[in-house]
Amino acid sequence: MYGRGIYALRDVSLVVEKGEFVFLTGPSGAGKSTLLRLLLRQEMPSDGKVIVAGRDLARLSPGQAQAYRRNLGFVFQDFKLIPTKTVLENVALVPRVLGATSVQQQRRTYQVLKWLGLQHRMNAYPLELSGGEQQRVAIARALVNEPALVLADEPTGNLDPDLSLEIMDLFRDINARGTTVLVATHDRELMRHVGRRAFSLDHGRLMESA
């Protein structure tokens, strides 16, 4: 609930199973980002519960909340890249700071950057990149840790249709390896291409489960 009696989400009850690939759709302002923010524990529900892997997010201690977030891959709608760090530093930041300096981790970082066609832009700064490139860096950062759950907020909003389909294939790949994926998008074409379960939100209410 935001401000005075405005509910961004109401009576939303949905269950996503481990290993599923689910779309969250709906017009702008429907509450898609709000739902994802609840799952990131960036926002707390004024009412109701958000339970991930059997744990109520509201009951996590600050330390547990940070550990929970490290197991998530989150693609922000506004990318949230650090402008003073290069592409490589942005992608490798948290794992490196946490001491994952293993060769395997480095190989993983390069692999993800290559998947997303960023291998030539590794030493560029985010502001030197196009919107589409920045979006791909944001996706690379979300995937580099091989998280158990990936949450993506309009991850193809700045990409051309071909690249969007490629990114969806990438999400499908990682889903095939057991990662649970939740993608918010208003692109029905894209959803049809991937052909997975979709929840539709409108004015903060869950309308259908197609």
Partner 1 sequence: MRLHAIRYCLEEALASLWRQRWSAGLSVLAIAAALLVLGVFLLVTVNLDRAVARWSAAAEFSVYLRDDIAQDQRAALNAMLEGHPAVASRDYVSKADAARRFARDFPDLAEGLAELPQNPLPASIEVRLRAGRTDSATVDALAQQLRGAAGVADVRFDRRWLERLGGIVKGLAWAGWMLGAVLLTAAILTVATVVRLALHARRDEVDIMQLMGAPIGLLRGPLVAEGLLQGGAGALVALAALYGTYVAVRGRLTEAIGPSLDPGLVGFLPGGLVVLVLVGGMAVGCAGGYVAARQVR
Ligand X SMILES: Nc1ncnc2c1ncn2[C@@H]1O[C@H](COP(=O)(O)OP(=O)(O)O)[C@@H](O)[C@H]1O
- Tell me which residues touch partner 1 (CB under 8 A): 40, 42, 62-63, 66-72, 74, 76, 80-85, 93-94, 96-99, 101, 141
Residue with Cβ nearer ligand X (32 or 108): 32
C-alpha to C-alpha distance for 97 and 74, rounded to whole angstroms:
18
Residue 57 near residue 65 (C-beta atoms within 8 A): yes
Q: Choose among 18, 62, 30: nearest CA to 179.
A: 18
C-alpha distances out from residue 187 to 25, 95, 191, 198, Å: 8, 32, 7, 12
Count residues binding ligand X (CB under 6 A): 11
Q: Which does 3 bind (CB under 5 to 8 A by kind): ligand X, Mg ion, partner 1, none?
A: ligand X
Residues 6+ apart with CB under 8 A from 174: 143, 150, 181
Q: How many chain residues are in contact with Mg ion, going by CB under 5 A?
A: 1
Instruction: Please report, for residues 21, 26, 31, the alpha-carbon distance to residue 178 in angstroms, rounded to integers and kept in the order given.
Output: 10, 26, 27
| C-alpha–C-alpha distance, residues 210 and 197, integer Å | 6
The yes or no reply on residue 33 touching Mg ion (CB under 5 A) is yes
Would you give the DSSP letter of residue 2?
Answer: B
Report residue 75 CA to chain centroid gap. 3
- Using CB under 6 A as the binding rule, whether residue 28 contacts ligand X is answered as yes
3 forms part of the interface with ligand X (CB under 6 A): yes
* The one among 23, 25, 26, 79 contacting ligand X by CB under 6 A: 26
Q: Which is nearer to partner 1, 74 or 115 (CB)?
A: 74
Asked if 90 touches Mg ion (CB under 5 A), the answer is no
Residue 32, interface with ligand X (CB under 6 A)? yes
Closest-by-Cβ residue to Mg ion is 33
From the CB of residue 113, how many other CB atoms can be counted at a distance below 10 Å? 23
Stretch that binds Mg ion, among 6-14, 27-35, 116-124, 133-141 (CB under 5 A): 27-35
Q: Which stretch binds Mg ion (CB under 5 A): 17-25, 28-36, 139-147, 201-209?
A: 28-36
Q: Which residues here bind ligand X, judged by CB under 6 A?
A: 2-3, 8, 26, 28-34
Q: Which residues bind Mg ion (CB under 5 A)?
A: 33
